[in-house]
Amino acid sequence: MTEKPQPPSIHQIPLSTGGGIPARKGFELQDHVAASYCIGMLADPRIREVWSEAHDDVVLIWQAGPEEEVEFVQVKGAKLNQLWSVALLCEQSSDLQAKHGTSIIERSLCRHCCSEACRFRIVTAEGVQEELRPLTYETGSNERIQEQQALVALSTKLAARTENACSPNGQGTAFWVSHTVWQVVHTTDALKTRNLRDLDKQLEQLGHFLLADQR
């Protein structure tokens, strides 16, 4: 039997040539999310690299011991006038209704194609319904551990709605649920204010003092 080839490193996977500047209008929240991780690099040496518009909205390369770990971040800044739900998470793209695999969770899962360990993050302006609330706790936290039963139920529901969607590396919705954090930032202005505060703190610790307009 022929062995399945080893997945390539994230550093070896070619970037898509789509998108670019014309498609970036209205992506202000995404820019501030990326900036928050760039600022985070000043304090957390585990964040090795921050990629914007490369494989996903934002990609983080973490140093996890001797190995690297990749975090794929999708940013959804649109105002929905409703809370995020399983239905929205599994909804096929309105521009590609005839195609499968275009939902948020399926596009997130498809990023799991590299040899490095992977995790995922969804960043939204709107909050989530109760069925997605367990994802808002960081993995490994006591709150997350206490939600295991709800997370199993969520994984089962996602699998049914996506016809058992699977990543290129052979992992399904149970893997996605256990490796995903949902972060609600509410508004771009709120995130921008937090970024400026964090930047002030990091610059002060480095011995740099800037005026507001210089920041």
Asked if pLDDT for residue 56 goes beyond 60, the answer is yes
Mean pLDDT, rounded, for 185-203: 91
Average pLDDT over residues 22-41: 82
pTM (2 decimals)?
A: 0.88
Confidence of residue 32 (pLDDT cuts 50, 70, 90): very high
Cα-only R_g, the chain:
18
Residue 98 has pLDDT above 80, yes or no: no
Q: What is the pLDDT of residue 22?
A: 46
Instruction: Provide the pLDDT for residue 115.
Output: 93
Between CA 90 and CA 107 the distance in angstroms is: 10
SS3 213: coil
Query: Residues 58-75: what's their mean pLDDT?
Result: 93
Q: What is the widest separation between alpha-carbon atoms in the chain?
A: 65
> For residue 155, what is the DSSP state?
H
CB 200 within 8 A of CB 215: yes
Interval 120-175: pLDDT, tens: 999 999 999 999 999 999 999 999 999 999 999 999 999 999 998 899 999 999 99
DSSP state of 137: S
Say if CB 159 and CB 165 are below 8 A apart: yes
Instruction: Answer whether residue 24 shows pLDDT above 70.
Output: no
Residue 96 has pLDDT above 60, yes or no: no
Count the neighbouring beta carbons within 10 Å of the beta carbon of residue 142: 9
Q: How far apart are CA 74 and CA 46, in angstroms?
A: 20
The DSSP code for 114 is S
> Alpha carbon of 80 to those of 17, 26, 58, 83: distances in Å?
29, 15, 21, 7
Q: Which two tokens stand for residue 177?
A: 């649920």
Q: Is 71 helix (H, G, I), strand (E, B) or coil?
A: strand
Using DSSP's 3-state secondary structure scheme, residue 194 falls into helix
Q: At 179, which helix (H) or strand (E)?
A: none
CA 51 from centroid of its chain's CA atoms = 12
Among residues of the chain, what percentage have pLDDT more than 90? 63
The answer to whether the CB of 105 falls within 8 A of the CB of 89 is yes
- Residue 26: pLDDT band (50, 70, 90) is low
User: Would you state the pLDDT for residue 192?
Assistant: 92
> What does the block give as tokens for 119?
């995790």
Does the pLDDT of residue 182 top 80, yes or no? Answer: yes
Residue of 117 and 10 predicted with greater confidence: 117
Asked if 54 and 100 count as a contact pair (C-beta separation under 8 A), the reply is no
